[in-house]
Chains A and B, each alone.
Chain A
Amino acid sequence: MEKVSGLLSPVRNFWNSFYSAWPDPVKKAFTPGLVGLLFFIMLVFPALGLINLYWQQVLIYVGINIILTLSLNLVNGYMGEFSVGHAGFMAVGAYVSSILTVWVLPKLGLSAYAPYLFPLVLIIGGLAAGLSGLIIAFPSFRTRGDYLAIVTLSWNMIVKSILENIEAVGGPRGFMGMPKLTNLAWVYVWVVITIWFIRNLVYSNYGRGALSIREDEIAASLVSVDTRKVKIVIFVIASFFAGIAGGLYAHVLLFINPRAFSILKSTDILVMVYLGGIGSIGGSILGATIYTVLLELLRPLQVWRWVIGPLLLVLLMIFRPRGIMGMREWGFLVPPEERPETWRKERETIILPRLASTRANPER
């Protein structure tokens, strides 16, 4: 991979020279402009029929998987804990939001407004997932290491088992009847919200607490990071976003059953996280996109594509244990004050002149 980035360096140099020539206001408007342009594309292209339905569906799945991957990366990549039951939280979000649109909204006579109430429905689903995350987080963070894996795994199994036993939501047959509310634009909006939120979280005080827990928990607690609180908060946020993704998933597939949220789904999310790279937002985006599109392209191979996926994961772990982007980040996802070029600039414009002046007249 180092070789690949070496090959790409002329491109990067060209881009950098091009980018640095822009005036500052344009630079500042670049990321919002790109986000807005993409939103326009996501809104207008499907309406004009420029993307066929199949690829729309694939893009929606890519978006949902990006949300899932990012939220799991928050726990596994940034905090260094090992959660393996992410599909359980997704299931909570999916079922709660589906129940809201199928039963609660018609009862309130609001089903005509469902497209407008969709964000609210999703958020309630996400909050339910977050609450379940809180219930799990309390016992599990009493111990450390592999026990979180065991607890989250059990949680995934418990959720699946409970859903299979509630006849009201269809039991093992599944639950259907939700209106098709998820479209490309909504998924895109949620992806942007997730990226924005997680980027800001990671570079906040809490995020730094999480990073310090990853590096060394004991040292972190010695420098007065409230490790237990940070872990619980980060874990609840991750489960909230998993719940959002579950709601989006339920309202695009229009059918959910407990088997869809088994440990296999959790493993898929893990693959995407570790494929893209731990502790990297850009990596999560890449990992989710590559894995989803690759599995779509391998569809003609039928059963064998489920052989290739895990094999890919094993090879990846052996030859590149930190994934494609592992702990590195795309420049525009890093806040300006964190970028190396800012440090360099600071060094050249502030620190070096000051050093030079102290050297020139040592009395000062």
Chain B
Amino acid sequence: MQAFLQQILNALQLGSVYALIALGYSMVYGIITLINFAHGDIFMVSTYVAFFVGSALMAYALKLPGLITFLLTMFASMMFTAFLAVVIERFAYRPLRKAPRVSAVITALGVGLFLENFTLATIGPHPRFLPPIIPVQRFTIGGIATSNIQLIIIFVSAIVMFLLDTIVRRTMVGMAMRAISWDKFTVPLMGVPMDRIISITFALGASIAAVGGTLYGFVYTIDPYMGIRIGWWAFISAVVGGIGNIRGAMLGGYLLGLVEIFTPVILPSSTYRDFVAFSMLLLLLVFRPYGLLGRPVTQKV
């Protein structure tokens, strides 16, 4: 039982990161029906930004308290990736808004590969560690080993997800987003600045991925190709939850975290996790083609 709870805690930690990235996929898909394959690599860039900013703050800055350094690192990473996502949207996706949808998806694949290989060419392939901005403290609660980092990851993600859900449901920007995803032909006629709302969506999605990236960097190593695997896993999370649905993306993220943690427990080796996750996805698509919380889209003739 204790081992089980321990694994649940680990799954929550990993699932939070997946959920944070899956949100970006889901928001972008919801608003312009584009599978933004570059999102995983935006996440990768965000961990590198966190790495450089964090290292610089640790090395040169005044002796700031750990929490402020952490927040500054995360903020810098969020700003940079939001800017990057807006630039990508402006120069790669916007010209293709009226082109066949497949062209935009291919462009997204190309942008993702470009980001990966550009990082590889400029920064190098070595795996790196984020500096210890917040010193790790391990402790046990009721026999379950945990650390302050693990709790920070789970709580920060929960707060960010709650904030995003509020933004989408309660603010004017969120209302505009939902309106555009409902009907993108009429909404601009009502005076909603569609391009700006789409840019905001990209910026929001990327900055949430950056929160995930910074948190991820505290625990795992970072390298230029890490965005591929995590990006795909987050993408599956988004699809499992029902792509375009924000709460579905969160649910999917936590489910995928569970799958990743519990596969090595049940099957002989951890290399089966891709197999399990993708088979689960295929089975789900057969029985519930629109995901767990998604609703079917009817096509007008």
Q: Check A270–B113 contact: CB distance below 8 A.
A: no
Q: Quick check: is B134 within 8 A (CB to CB) of the other chain?
A: no
Which label, helix, strand, loop or mixed, suits the secondary structure of the B interface?
Answer: helix
Which among A146, A165, A313, A321 is the interface contact of B100 at CB below 8 angstroms?
A321
Q: Knowing that A164-B271, A314-B114 are A-B contacts, what are 4 other residue pairs whose CB atoms are under 8 Å apart, sorted by A's residue number?
A: A84-B109, A267-B109, A306-B121, A317-B103
Chain B residue contacts of A150, Cβ below 8 A: 239, 281, 285
- What are 5 pairs between A and B in contact, CB < 8 Å? A165-B272, A267-B113, A303-B121, A306-B121, A314-B92
Asked if A142 meets B286 with Cβ closer than 8 Å, knowing A161-B278, A307-B118, A318-B92, the reply is yes
Q: Quick check: is A149 within 8 A (CB to CB) of the other chain?
A: yes
Chain B residue contacts of A155, Cβ below 8 A: 278, 282
Asked if A151 meets B96 with Cβ closer than 8 Å, knowing A161-B275, A303-B117, A304-B121, the reply is no
Q: Mark A153-166, 1 if CB is under 8 A from B, else 0.
A: 11101101110110
Which among B91, B112, B113 is the interface contact of A306 at CB below 8 angstroms?
B113
Q: Check A270–B275 contact: CB distance below 8 A.
A: no
Which 8 pairs between the two chains have the least Cβ-Cβ distance?
A310-B113, A313-B110, A161-B275, A154-B278, A161-B274, A306-B117, A310-B114, A321-B103
Q: Quick check: is A49 within 8 A (CB to CB) of the other chain?
A: no
Q: Quick check: is B59 within 8 A (CB to CB) of the other chain?
A: no
A303 to B119, CA, bound (A): 10
Chain A residue at minimum C-beta to C-beta distance from B274 = A161
Q: Check A157–B271 contact: CB distance below 8 A.
A: no
Q: Check A317–B110 contact: CB distance below 8 A.
A: yes
Chain A residue at minimum C-beta to C-beta distance from B114 = A310
Q: Quick check: is A309 within 8 A (CB to CB) of the other chain?
A: yes
Q: Mark B72-113, 1 if CB is under 8 A from A, else 0.
A: 000000000000000000011001100110111111011111
A311 to B38, CA, bound (A): 13
Q: Check B275–A165 contact: CB distance below 8 A.
A: yes
Q: Mark A222-253, 1 if CB is under 8 A from B, else 0.
A: 00000000000000000000000000000000
Q: Quick check: is A260 within 8 A (CB to CB) of the other chain?
A: no
Chain A residue at minimum C-beta to C-beta distance from B299 = A218
A90 to B105, CA, bound (A): 22
Q: Quick check: is A291 within 8 A (CB to CB) of the other chain?
A: no
Which among A84, A149, A303, A317 is the interface contact of B96 at CB below 8 angstroms?
A317
Chain B residue contacts of A32, Cβ below 8 A: none
Give A residues with C-beta under 8 Å from B.
Answer: 76, 82, 84, 139-140, 142-144, 146-147, 149-151, 153-155, 157-158, 160-162, 164-165, 172, 218, 263-264, 267, 270-271, 274, 303-304, 306-307, 309-311, 313-314, 317-318, 321
Give B residues with C-beta under 8 Å from A.
Answer: 33, 35, 91-92, 95-96, 99-100, 102-107, 109-114, 117-118, 120-121, 228, 232, 236, 239, 243, 269, 271-272, 274-275, 278-279, 281-282, 285-286, 289, 299, 301
Q: How many A-B pairs with Cβ below 8 Å?
A: 117
Chain A residue contacts of B269, Cβ below 8 A: 165
Chain A residue contacts of B285, Cβ below 8 A: 139-140, 143, 147, 150-151
Chain A residue at minimum C-beta to C-beta distance from B35 = A146
Q: Check B286–A313 contact: CB distance below 8 A.
A: no
A161 to B285, CA, bound (A): 19
Q: Check B272–A318 contact: CB distance below 8 A.
A: no
Q: Check B299–A154 contact: CB distance below 8 A.
A: no
Chain A residue contacts of B102, Cβ below 8 A: 76, 82
A143 to B112, CA, bound (A): 27
Chain B residue contacts of A157, Cβ below 8 A: 232, 274-275, 278
A144 to B33, CA, bound (A): 13
A314 to B239, CA, bound (A): 25
Which among B110, B117, B121 is the interface contact of A314 at CB below 8 angstroms?
B110
Q: Check B111–A310 contact: CB distance below 8 A.
A: yes
A113 to chain B, nearest CB (A): 37
A289 to chain B, nearest CB (A): 19
A256 to B274, CA, bound (A): 20
A233 to chain B, nearest CB (A): 20
Chain B residue at minimum C-beta to C-beta distance from A273 = B106
B107 to chain A, nearest CB (A): 4
Q: Check B109–A270 contact: CB distance below 8 A.
A: yes
A154 to B110, CA, bound (A): 19
Chain A residue contacts of B110, Cβ below 8 A: 271, 310-311, 313-314, 317
Which among B91, B117, B228 is the interface contact of A310 at CB below 8 angstroms?
B117
Which among B106, B118, B239, B243 is the interface contact of A274 at CB below 8 angstroms?
B106
A261 to chain B, nearest CB (A): 13
A149 to B103, CA, bound (A): 13
Q: Check B35–A270 contact: CB distance below 8 A.
A: no
Chain A residue contacts of B117, Cβ below 8 A: 303, 306-307, 309-310
Chain B residue contacts of A82, Cβ below 8 A: 102, 105
Chain B residue contacts of A140, Cβ below 8 A: 285
Q: Check A309–B105 contact: CB distance below 8 A.
A: no
A303 to B114, CA, bound (A): 11
B55 to chain A, nearest CB (A): 23
A172 to B269, CA, bound (A): 13
Q: Check B271–A161 contact: CB distance below 8 A.
A: yes
Q: Check A307–B228 contact: CB distance below 8 A.
A: no
Give the one of A147, A311, A317 with max B CB within 10 A: A317
A318 to B104, CA, bound (A): 9
Chain A residue contacts of B299, Cβ below 8 A: 144, 218
A95 to chain B, nearest CB (A): 16
B260 to chain A, nearest CB (A): 13
